[in-house]
Structure 1
Amino acid sequence: MTSDASMKQSKWLVDDATNEHIPKILALFHAVFGQDMSEAQWDWKYGGGRGAGVVVRKDDEIVAYFGGMERRILFNGIPVTAFQSGDSMVAREHRGTLSKRGPFFLSVAAFQDRYLGYGRPYLISYGFPNERAMRLAERLGMYTQIGALFEIYWPAEASVNFRSVPFDFDDGGHRNALETLWHSMAEEFDRRAIGVRDLIYLAHRYRDHPVHSYIIHLVFDSGDRVLGIVVARKAKHRLVLVDFVGRRQEFRNLVCYAKSLADKERCSEMFGWMTDIDCNLISGTGEKPKELPLRLPFGVYREGLDPEELRDRWFFMCGDSDFW
């Protein structure tokens, strides 16, 4: 289906992305980012109705793509399906067209017009654009900032205060522990917006990822009390702290465990994300936040939820994106 946003343009056509577009979208991804996305990774993100996107064409050439994935969240304690903006790309030779007639604007506008806002499939959206894309989208009236998150670094540090076991998705005791941990976490964030972290989510997001291998540990203190679940991934000399499931009062302990895991994995440091309003939950762990935070957007091109209802309400870590 061709979007109405394209009807006013003589140069570009905007269509819903379909299976026939996939090879050209993957080729555009390689040209823009200098790396490949396999068909398996595409299917992990978009297959089975998990995602949607639009393409901007010049004749048969795809010059831009904007799309993303569904994410089950809790908003004020109520289950909602949100949309994570995951992939935005424009062919290099067309990036100079940064006006409301250009392919970047058309891809985002057409997507929001079709999928986001009142009377459309998704009322809530989020994403993690780089600063250049964020500034451009703000200038074009597509996004407004509703929060920020910090990139944080920690030194690796050994500890004897914890023990852990790999999380076994088939073990009944582990599954029950996850259910209890997530239930407690959800209750503590019941006036916030937070992505669901249940068994179905962890299995698809981490266990079944077609490219990355994740360390998923059930963590205990020295007295065998369950502290939470830590998800991490090695990236060269660094351990990426990807995700937590647990109560807020245990976040410092989970960070300290992850630092000890970085030491065991022979990483020199650990890296992670934390929304700025939650950084107090991990203070005193040797954290070193990057000076300038990443800004969090909310789509405002079409009438929908008031941005103030989501301002400083999200809880995000690295795993809430699709690229860590």
Structure 2
Amino acid sequence: MQTTHDVYRPGKDDSAVMRLRTAVWGADHPHTNPAFFEWLFQRNPAGAGSGAVIRQDDDVVAFAGLSARKLLVGGKTFRVAHGLDLMVDPGLSGLLSGRYGFKVSDNWAGYARDAGFAFGVNFPNSNSFRLLTSGRLKWTVMLKPRLRVQPLRGFAIRPAVLGRVPLWLLNLLTGTLALGLRAPQIIHGKPAGRVVAVTRAEEQLDDLWQSAAHHTKTCFVRDRAYIRWRYLEHPVYRYDLFGLKVDDRLAGLIVTTTREVFGLKSMLIVDALADRDEPAILSALVAHATAKARAAGIEMGCAQACTGDLLDRALAKSGFLVVPERLNPKLFFMVGLPFTPDAASILASPGWHFTWGDMDVV
């Protein structure tokens, strides 16, 4: 049996990688989909994707995908390699599986460096976190965004649903009621303007991004091309985009989607931009989105944000409660790996604007 280590070739290697993905995640997983792979690795406006594969004869037995990103840090833009879909054939022995997992991850970093990327980011699951952050691969934890939630139907939830509410959420609700529902739910300084549905990648999205970039220290680039690709052209998921228009200027944007979270039908706020560092703009959009979700029977609103970020402050003003880390059954981490000397400072970059949409899986 011949073992080879290669660079992943989007399109040409997809059928072999898809067979591995079926073995790992199942044929019914929404990402086990040729259209998703084409969208992710070939249509990304930041550049074509790549990655690393290990083959045994003609079978791909390990894979680590690479999606191109652009990262703004202190006014400077870096080319970033987003690592995703790390997979090893579940039929391999434990020892061989660990060896291939390490090798394909190490190869991935080498390919990313050779391709001219300045930095790598990854959102590891519980299986890959220990591998990536080991002393051999040397990925470093950069962000640990916190989960904020807002029950949208209170304790009027029908009994069948209440029985599915996880313990952490019941504890959170009980604690909130014990405090007299003192969570901040009043939007202060509501801005003038009107909320509109954004259904196409209009030029004002570039203007909004340019304004947002002036008051954002560290953020993945969210220009018009990215918004079109990431949300409006996604082949698997549907997103709702809401903008706040003030005097025909697009002053803010949020993106939502609907998923099941911890057994509850939930609205996820997956992206947000505002042209000023003022929570009222995003709070007005959050209020609009939650009202529509509540009317549609959605049971909970959810978002991930970094402490003190504009989105985090807007969520607080909109009544979204922080889930204590000890009660959160699924923490998210972002880990980083610099490839160039000038990119090492990104590990400690301040003022991150992070949203759930920065991950590939939401």
Note the alpha carbon deviations across 1:225-281, whole angstroms, 9 max, x for none. 854111111225211111112133133333333322321332111112112352345
Q: How does 1:217-296 map to 2 (within 5 A)?
A: 217-220=242-245, 227-236=251-260, 237-246=265-274, 247-249=276-278, 250-278=281-309, 279-280=312-313, 282-292=315-325, 293-296=331-334
Shift of 1:57: 1.7
2:356 corresponds to which of 293, 318, 321: 318
Aligned-partner Cα distance in 1 for 2:71–2:319: 30
1:297 corresponds to which of 310, 335, 356: 335
CA distance change for structure 1 residues 109 and 82 in 2, over 3 Å: closer, same or farther? same
Structure 1 runs (4+) deviating above 4 angstroms are 157-163, 223-227, 302-308
Aligned-partner Cα distance in 1 for 2:273–2:93: 40
Mean Cα displacement is larger for which, 87-96 or 180-189?
87-96
**Counterpart position of 2:134:** 139
Q: Is the 8 A contact 2:242 2:285 kept in 1?
A: no
Residue type of the alignment partner of 1:261: K
Instruction: Compute the TM-score of the two structures, normalised by the length of structure 2.
Output: 0.74
Shift of 1:195: 1.4
Q: Is the 8 A contact 1:241 1:318 kept in 2?
A: yes
1:164 corresponds to which of 195, 204, 209: 195
**Counterpart position of 2:159:** none
Correspondence 1:102 to 2:99: yes
Report the 3-state secondary structure (helix = DSSP H, G, I; strand = E; otherwise coil) of the residue aligned with 2:94.
coil
Aligned-partner Cα distance in 2 for 1:141–1:84: 19
Q: Is the 8 A contact 1:148 1:276 kept in 2?
A: no
Aligned-partner Cα distance in 1 for 2:314–2:197: 25
CA distance change for structure 1 residues 120 and 40 in 2, over 3 Å: closer, same or farther? closer
Name the % identity. 23
Q: Is the 8 A contact 2:253 2:282 kept in 1?
A: no
**Counterpart position of 2:54:** 56
Report the 3-state secondary structure (helix = DSSP H, G, I; strand = E; otherwise coil) of the residue aligned with 1:93.
coil
Residue type of the alignment partner of 2:40: K
**Counterpart position of 1:113:** 110
Shift of 1:102: 0.6
- Structure 1 portions without partners, runs of 5+: 1-9
Correspondence 1:28 to 2:37: no
Correspondence 1:185 to 2:212: yes
The Cα RMSD (Å) is 3.0
Residue type of the alignment partner of 1:288: L
**Counterpart position of 2:87:** 89
Shift of 1:200: 1.0
**Counterpart position of 2:124:** 129
Q: Is the 8 A contact 2:243 2:285 kept in 1?
A: no
Note the alpha carbon deviations across 1:1-25, whole angstroms, 9 max, x for none. xxxxxxxxx9842111124321121
- Structure 2 portions without partners, runs of 5+: 154-184, 326-330
2:39 corresponds to which of 29, 44, 62: 44
Instruction: Compute the TM-score of the two structures, normalised by the length of structure 1.
Output: 0.82
Aligned-partner Cα distance in 1 for 2:291–2:61: 46
1:66 corresponds to which of 44, 64, 67: 64
CA distance change for structure 1 residues 93 and 305 in 2, over 3 Å: closer, same or farther? farther
**Counterpart position of 1:5:** none
Aligned-partner Cα distance in 1 for 2:255–2:93: 37
Shift of 1:283: 2.4
Query: How many pairs align?
Result: 304
Aligned-partner Cα distance in 2 for 1:90–1:239: 32
Residue type of the alignment partner of 1:276: T
Shift of 1:298: 1.0
Report the 3-state secondary structure (helix = DSSP H, G, I; strand = E; otherwise coil) of the residue aligned with 2:55.
strand
